[in-house]
Structure 1
Amino acid sequence: MSNLKKIREKNNITQIRLSIDLEVSQELISQYEVGKTLPTITNLSKLADFFHCSTDYLLNRTDNPTPVNMLNENDIEIANIIDKYIFLNNESKKEFINFLDYLVYKNGISH
């Protein structure tokens, strides 16, 4: 998690100050930074909130610290529908698509 050290130093935050704010030991912050241990999901979330950055940035999965915009309610609703669709068997998926096509037709929506 070398990006943690980068963003901490960029913000002039010491390991001690960060450990106090996150309610963890300074040693644990040091272990995160050198990659000796990974933070729990809770601590990773706290770090991202503290630095206003993405968890992907903290985990060195991207060089861009800017978090992805939060999903709006419609996006969440669509994601929930997709999650349910994924677990349907093939026959049920066909029925779902047919019903969706019917609703689109019934509402006069062109696509």
Structure 2
Amino acid sequence: MKNTFPVLFSDRLQTLRNLHQLSLSKFSRNINVSKSMIFNFENQVTLPSVEVLIKISNYFCCSMDYLIGRSDNPSWMDYLPQAENKFFNHLDTTPDFIKMYQDEKIIEPISLAPVSLRKIEFMRDNHIQPQA
């Protein structure tokens, strides 16, 4: 039986990255993994370590089972509430960041919520103030 993990992982990573309109550079910066590593994953040259697989699944709020092809359900709705809870209860999350996230969640498709959340967390963690 042929191992389909590299193909499924490659396809799903590209699909998620494209759905969220993330360039290789931007995505690699967001998860702190080299651009060449992401390129190699998407071109089935190498496979991710468990550590990197966790980073990717956390970033997109999807299950690792989905990424590796054990499930066809990304389950992001199962993971998004946990990620939102951490965001809302973080000491540095101000009402401005919460409002920015809630506003984006209203106007964007719900499937884009994980990346909106990560973008705003990045702004918060790097002390970039939301624009009014």
**Shorter-chain TM-score above 0.5:** yes
How far residue 34 of structure 1 moved from its aligned partner, in angstroms, is 1.9
Q: Is it true that 1:57 corresponds to 2:61 in the alignment? A: no
**Identical columns (%):** 31
* Within-5 A mapping of 1:38-77: 38-66=47-75
Question: What's the counterpart of residue 18 of structure 1?
Answer: 27
How far residue 11 of structure 1 moved from its aligned partner, in angstroms, is 1.0
Deviates more, 1:59-68 or 1:45-54: 59-68
The answer to whether the Cα contact below 8 Å between 1:54 and 1:68 also exists between their aligned partners in 2 is: no
Distance 1:8 1:19 in 2: 10
How far residue 58 of structure 1 moved from its aligned partner, in angstroms, is 1.3
Unpaired segments of 5 or more residues in structure 2? 1-8, 80-132
CA deviation vs aligned residue, 1:50-98 (integer Å, no higher than 9, x gap)? 000011111123221115958xxxxxxxxxxxxxxxxxxxxxxxxxxxx
Find runs of 4+ consecutive structure 1 residues off by over 3 angstroms.
Answer: 67-70
Distance 1:14 1:55 in 2: 21
Distance 1:68 1:39 in 2: 24
Q: Residue 20 of structure 2 aligns to which amino acid in structure 1?
A: N
Name the SS of the counterpart of 1:30 in structure 2: helix
Distance 2:23 2:56 in 1: 13
Q: Is it true that 1:32 corresponds to 2:41 in the alignment? A: yes
* Within-5 A mapping of 1:82-93: none
Distance 2:77 2:46 in 1: 25
Number of residue equivalences? 70
TM (norm. structure 2) is: 0.48
The answer to whether the Cα contact below 8 Å between 2:60 and 2:76 also exists between their aligned partners in 1 is: no
Query: Greater CA radius of gyration, 1 or 2?
Result: 1
Distance 1:8 1:22 in 2: 12
